[in-house]
Structure 1
Amino acid sequence: MSQDTINNNASFIWSIAELLRGDFKQSEYGKIVLPFTILRRLDCLLENTKQAVLTTASGLPDEMDEQMRMTILSEIAAAGGQIYNTSQFTFSTLRQQDAGQLRSNLVDYLTGFSPNVRDIFIEKFKFTEILKDLDEKGSLWMVFDRFCQLPIHPDEVSNLEMGYLFEELIRRFSEISNETAGEHFTPREVVRLLVDLLLANDDEALSGKGIIRRVYDPACGTGGMLSVAEEAMKEFNPALNVDLFGQELNGESFAICKSDMMVKGHDASRIAYGNTLTQDAHKGETFHYMLSNPPYGVDWKKYAAPIKEEAEDLGFDGRFGAGLPRISDGQLLFVQHMIEKMRDDEKGSRVGIVMNGSPLFTGGAGSGESEIRRWMLENDLVEAIIALPTDIFYNTGIQTYIWILSNRKPEERRGKVQLIDASGERFWQSMRKSLGSKRRAIGDDARAEIVRIYEEFLNGAAGYGDVSKIFDTTDFGYREIRVERPLRQRFEVTDEGIAALKATKPFQKLEPEEQEQMVDLLHDALGGENDTSPKGVEKGLKRIAAGMGIKIAAPLKKAIVSAMSLRDENAEPELDKDGNLVPDTSLRDHELVPMKEDWQDYFAREVEPFVPDAWVDTSHRDASDGEVGRVGYEINFNRYFYQYVPPRPLAEIDTELKTLEAEIAGLLKEVVA
């Protein structure tokens, strides 16, 4: 495979995009150039068999079944997949026609394609509208003529090289249009690392002839991950049959991915269009390998209804039984979707998914995120999590992580999770020239080292103690116990308290005369030498009600007590009618007790010696196991891999500041002079 071929063709196509300057916005270049590139490739693929297809098509009866027609003509076309074109035109003959007729001739050419290709260009790319726009702005012939010169015949550019070319173009167009980070393009070295991790230790399963492996990406974009997975598997075993499946929401990305599958000879019908989370196009299917880089931090509010309905109605019989994450981030929905498609046999499945840090620790005990993590860890589905370097994506510098999930863990990994911190300098190199936000790259040697650390299940081995650690799944769990302290307060009528009472709604509902009367009676009933204990206050409130000739309703009573109460550590603890301590909600606290420890032992050691009057609210229990304390799970990389770096000595900082001051003073002198 020639990188020069890819770069040269990408540069040539980029030069065509420059012809659009002035008539179109930069963000619109890709919508014109990408479909033209695919159209040119298809024209090259069908060139040698064009006449044979036309001859065969003319002899087929009009009433023939459409599927049968597609099968016959695509076999004659011999382009791989169900692709053919029955139009009289080709790029070569279109170029020889009257330039004024080019638009109508191109539309005729498009409608001559097989229905699956027509759908891509007319419905997804909206290409007829693009042709109209180009024609009206006088750019159509110029752009078309340049594409006729693009040398991407399969004799010159392989299918694999064509895939790389697509990805390079998508990356460039994504950069100039400022697309959301990671939404359209995952760096190739990240994809290759993900694939290598996914296939690690699977030599035996991938060996032999007649082996079929099904690979799925639920947010496949332009199909880059699927292509790399197939490439890596074929490198290991050329005889392997790799079936690729995917689904994509973005129309243009879907069109490119499906086109790519067509030109590579795959069954393009396995690439589905639509929202994976609401319209599962591969329902009931299972796969050997799944991989994805779903959108980060993208909310799912606008399509929440069907997701919530599935979760409530189907539970674990559906995809989202473990829980629903917060509406602002749907990454863990994709995780559950992929787990639901794991094979339930001895071969099982493996999942690799790239996400940001949110799914690791967002959400406390009982939250949707925590419950999803709990479900994955308690079912022993998490094999490893790898922290990647920052600044390796094109449009964002955020920290990202690769999760490896499996329902066929080897014996030594059962009940264990491996954390690998591959974010340090040993695993990345600075790029000579930044590409957007991408300033770093994971080299081949670093990738191989990360895979080896994972493959050999290293746990703090010599030289790796700071980057690889093995944990029990329960090490990430905790019980959140509720710690209460008694309510201690006294009651006192103050100007601040009266002002606070006047601001409450129950007080404001009183008539103006009643409001004045109540304020006057407050001092007599609750102030001075009166009993300010809870029982004394209750008696005082009765005196106020009697004096006003009204009944003090519960909301007003609560407002009075709240406004006139002051916390007092020296006051006696308040008791309820049953003689139990009344908790002070303002002093309520929660302690996170490690899952492996008894909460009573923890409380006796960590809380009781410092707050002797505290107690644990034993009614605060977990909804699933019914035990005291709500269960939560989080995976905090910093906690396990943090390394203290002492601050620089003050003398060193002072010397640096003086040097900078001297430099600034020198520059100011030059300016003044």
Structure 2
Amino acid sequence: MNNFNDKVNFIWSIAELLRGPWKPNQYKDVMLPLVVLRRLDCVLEPTKDQVLEKYNKMKGGKVKNLDPILNTVSGHQFHNISRFTFKKLKEDPDNIAANLAAYIKGFSGNARNIFDQFGFEKEIEKLDRNNRLFLVISKFADDIDLHPDKVSNIDMGYIFEELIRRFNEASNEEAGDHFTPREVIRLMVNLIFLPDADILTKKGIIKSLFDPACGTGGMLSVSDEYVHDLNRDAGLAVFGEDINEQAYAICGSDMLIKGQDPDNIALGDSFTADAFKGRHFDYMLANPPFGVEWKAEEDAIKKEHEEQGFGGRFGAGYPRVSDGSLLFLQHMISKMKPVGEGG
């Protein structure tokens, strides 16, 4: 399966095995976390034995925080200290639920904190109870390899986006809350970075970019790829916030695999829980949700407007309550570095 559409179709065929205990609009609660988990599994598999060997040698010793050491061995910013992989999970079908739970707990804290947002524990119990868990894990273990050497970061983004589109279609929901088509993102990225080509090609240049409605992280990923392709000596620190748990978990795990700081991706409401308060960035790039009501945040937004005026984020006022896109634009403007500082 070299084409990303083939992989999407295969994953959807696994989802169809859930029919009965799960309705089609519930498939995403099982499949999205499993796809993320399989991606993490494939990424860590080549160094799994070395990580376990180092962990067993050093546990209980003088070094209390083994995370930096084990991350170095894994070659990534995360690791897993359980003895399981997807392939080993299927070797013990009678205990697969307990072993899968232990496998997830074996991830380093940064990966586990992201993955926990899926709320997958209750799905494990339901999968096991309905005799689907072994079948689904076996399918992932035997028939699909999601290692970055096999599935590029770009293709992985397409896979997530197409799956979400299909799941939302089954739920009669709009996919636009979660992603923007990559061809649109590429146009936006070109428009924002082309004027700074001279700056971005300088050796050792480091810039930052923020998306306050980052969804699954498509804009962050394409921006990172653009700058890296333009100048291998440049660095782009990407930051994002999103209110949707599943989108955040996909974005956070993707950034973790790419080597970005997972703490730069936040779960929360950009209007009422600004995760990067006081921080300013070189670039802003977002497709904020249009036509989305902000009544739940109305009191907090109006209070900030009245008490802080232009010293806060919403000094210019607020739009009708049925569409909060102007609020996102004001929020982004407030996070911009002054031009004199390179913003």
Of structures 1 and 2, the one scoring higher in RCO (CA 8 A, sep 6+) is 2
Q: Is 2:336 aligned against 1:339?
A: no
Cα deviation for residue 102 of structure 1 reads 0.6
Please name the residue that 1:13 is paired with: 11
Alpha-carbon distance in 2 for matches of 1:184, 1:42: 21
Cα deviation for residue 308 of structure 1 reads 1.7
Alpha-carbon distance in 1 for matches of 2:254, 2:101: 22
Unpaired stretches in structure 1, ≥5 consecutive residues: 350-673
Aligned 1:384-463 pairs, distance under 5 A:
none
1:106-145 Cα distance to aligned partner (Å, 9 max, x none): 00111111112222233x1111111111111121111111
Q: Is 2:149 aligned against 1:155?
A: yes
Alpha-carbon distance in 1 for matches of 2:138, 2:200: 46
SS state at 1:59 partner: helix
Q: Is 2:65 aligned against 1:71?
A: no
SS state at 1:44 partner: helix
Q: Is 2:239 aligned against 1:245?
A: yes
Given the alignment, which residue of 51, 68, 71 partners 1:53?
51
- When the two structures are superposed, what TM-score results if normalisation uses the length of structure 1? 0.49
Letter of the 1:96 counterpart: E
Aligned residues of 1:159 and 1:263 also touching (Cα < 8 A):
no
Alpha-carbon distance in 2 for matches of 1:25, 1:57: 42
SS state at 2:292 partner: coil
Q: Is 2:90 aligned against 1:92?
A: no
SS state at 1:343 partner: coil
SS state at 2:321 partner: coil
- When the two structures are superposed, what TM-score results if normalisation uses the length of structure 2? 0.94
SS state at 1:292 partner: coil
Alpha-carbon distance in 2 for matches of 1:65, 1:297: 52
1:622-666 Cα distance to aligned partner (Å, 9 max, x none): xxxxxxxxxxxxxxxxxxxxxxxxxxxxxxxxxxxxxxxxxxxxx
Letter of the 1:175 counterpart: E
Aligned residues of 2:213 and 2:288 also touching (Cα < 8 A):
yes
Alpha-carbon distance in 2 for matches of 1:302, 1:343: 29
Aligned residues of 1:278 and 1:303 also touching (Cα < 8 A):
yes
Q: Is 2:28 aligned against 1:30?
A: yes
CA RMSD in angstroms comes to 1.9
Letter of the 1:74 counterpart: N
Aligned 1:25-424 pairs, distance under 5 A:
25-62=23-60, 68-78=65-75, 80-81=76-77, 83-97=78-92, 99-122=93-116, 124-149=117-142, 150-180=144-174, 182-346=176-340, 348-349=342-343
Alpha-carbon distance in 2 for matches of 1:341, 1:223: 19
Higher fraction of strand = 1
Letter of the 1:133 counterpart: K
Alpha-carbon distance in 1 for matches of 2:306, 2:280: 23
Alpha-carbon distance in 2 for matches of 1:328, 1:63: 58
Determine which structure has more spread, i.e. the larger CA radius of gyration.
Answer: 1
Aligned residues of 1:174 and 1:184 also touching (Cα < 8 A):
no
Give me the identity figure in percent: 48
Unpaired stretches in structure 2, ≥5 consecutive residues: none
1:166-187 Cα distance to aligned partner (Å, 9 max, x none): 2222222222222235211212
Cα deviation for residue 62 of structure 1 reads 4.3
Aligned residues of 2:115 and 2:253 also touching (Cα < 8 A):
no
Q: Which moved more, 1:227-236 or 1:107-116?
A: 227-236
Letter of the 2:128 counterpart: D
Cα deviation for residue 270 of structure 1 reads 0.3
- The change in CA–CA distance for 1:63 and 1:337 in structure 2 (over 3 A counts) is farther
Aligned residues of 1:16 and 1:146 also touching (Cα < 8 A):
yes
Higher fraction of helix = 2
